[in-house]
Amino acid sequence: MTGALDKLRVLDLSRVLAGPWASQTLADLGAEVIKIERPRVGDDTRRWGPPFLKDQAGLETRESAYFLSTNRGKLSVTVNVAEPEGQAIIGRLAEASDVFIENYKVGDMARYGLSYEDLKKINPRLIYCSITGFGQDGPMAHLPGYDFIVQGMGGLMSITGERDDLPGGGPQKVGVAAADIMTGLYATIAILAALAHRAETGQGQYIDLALLDTQVATIAGMGINYLASGVIPKREGNAHANIVPYQVFHARDGDLIIAVGNDTQFVRLCQLIGAPELAADARFSLNGNRVRHREILVPLLQDILSRRTVSEWIELLQPGGVPCGPINNIAQVFEHPQVRHRGMQLDLEHPHAGRTPSVANPIKFSGTPIAYDKAPPMLGQHTMHVLTRIGGLSEAEIESLVAKGIV
């Protein structure tokens, strides 16, 4: 079967994570994604290691695990976009593409003659997606954007981490580049919506996406908590600002998550742990009261939950309808029977290493299943193939451009 987007061609001039995450998602959905990289250097993340992929002899290659995580399914073409001849090549490829993704600093694409206004003249159907730290306008538009800084500026770190009055208290970033990944997903959504609009009108359009905008949008309920109340949310560690008990408890041999989402589940929890009197207590019977009296309730629950192991509590609580679970390390994640059943770990053929690991796309289609037929490319692996087939250049012309450092 072909992918859902198998007729789509994406020209990807983005680097690092947010843009590549969007283009990898589109590649998973069947699109032909042409990744443009700098000659001899490539995407910055190719050097973000260790760890690096090992070849069949056990020796490290130059392919970083970070790069491998976000460039599956793409064709790598090297082009120096700072040179006029390179810009001409990008123009040819853009004319034959449906989607153009870039994350250069504001103004760079216009300086290279590759702005949306430039390219829509040769391809009015082009969907052009720009991803920056702070957007195309505003007082910070000219500054580069980094996920870590945006997590701080956008409020996420102010509500992430242990409470200041407890050991280890203080702001923390999320363990993965959350602002980058969410921006990549929003970019994918925006591109698909623009394609739907184009199908009706025949017209492409420009998409302006900013990491900071995305981070502000995805503080979600915490943002509305503030706007509705005027009270600035604070860090709660692993507790929930609006629900109790919804946090980590210490069992006899490790940490246990209990996520009680309503009053009925709280009654079940109290019954199963042998403390039905807690559910009958007016201080705890309703969630609003439990939030107000969390400092009393949580220690009572903690005392009871410390008496058994994590697995013993899970075996008791899950069948009883109480949401709960362990905190797995990454090895345990990939060994988990549910994760294995869902096929989330992949092995893809790689020209240097033989095989390379990958993590599957979580989308499961009934009619257009995702095909994992391309490992993350080596630098410039597809330059000749793409520039002859799509760019219309001869092999001799490409060899001349290679000699000049253009491709």
pLDDT tens, residue by residue, 84-134: 999 999 999 999 999 999 999 999 999 999 999 999 999 999 999 999 999
Q: At 356, phi and psi to the nearest 5?
A: -135, 140
Q: Is the pLDDT of residue 279 over 90?
A: yes
Residue 1 has pLDDT above 80, yes or no: no
Per-residue pLDDT of 203-226, as tens digits, reads: 999 999 999 999 999 999 999 999
User: What's the burial of 146, exposed, middle or buried (CB within 10 Å: 0-12/13-18/19+)?
Assistant: middle
- Give the mean pLDDT of the chain: 95
Residue 235 lies in a domain: no
Lowest mean pLDDT among 156-160, 162-166, 365-369: 162-166
**What element of type H or E holds 61?**
strand 60-64
Q: With respect to residue 175, please indicate whether it lies within any of the assigned structural domains.
A: yes
Contact between residue 96 and residue 174 where contact means Cβ atoms under 8 Å apart: no
**Any idea what the Cα angle at residue 75 is, between residues 117 and 179, rounded to 5°?**
65
Question: Could you tell me the CATH number of the domain that includes residue 296?
Answer: 3.30.1540.10
What pLDDT, on the 0 to 100 scale, is given for residue 153? 96
Q: Do 49 and 197 have their domain in common? A: yes
At 212, the amino acid letter reads: L
Final residue belonging to a domain, choices 301, 327, 353? 327
The DSSP call for residue 162 is: B
CB 185 within 8 A of CB 173: no
Which residues on adjacent β-strands are paired with residue 52? Answer: 64
Task: Kindly report the pTM of this predicted structure.
Answer: 0.93
**52-66: average pLDDT:** 88
Q: How confident is the model over 245-259, as a mean pLDDT? A: 96
CATH of the domain at 81: 3.40.50.10540
Q: At 233, phi and psi to the nearest 5?
A: -60, 150
Q: Within this chain, do residues 272 and 351 fall inside the same structural domain, yes or no?
A: no
Identify whether residues 395 and 299 lie together within a single domain. Answer: no
Q: Is the residue at 225 inside a domain?
A: no
Instruction: Out of 180, 281, 347, 373, pick the active-site residue.
Output: 180
- Whether residue 259 sits in one domain with residue 362: no
For residue 61, pLDDT over 90 is answered with: no
Neighbours of 52 (CB within 10 A): 20
- Establish if 283 belongs to a structural domain: yes
Query: Can you give the residue range of the structural domain that contains 295?
Result: 246-327
User: Above pLDDT 90, what percent of the chain?
Assistant: 93
| Mean pLDDT of the 55-84 span | 93
Looking at residue 55, what is its pLDDT? Answer: 85
* Number of structural domains the chain divides into: 2
Residue 264 lies in a domain: yes
- Residues 43 and 165 occupy one common structural domain: yes
Which letter, b or e, does each residue of 314-325 get, where b requires 16 or more Cβ atoms within 10 Å of its Cβ?
Answer: beebeeeebebe
213 is catalytic: no
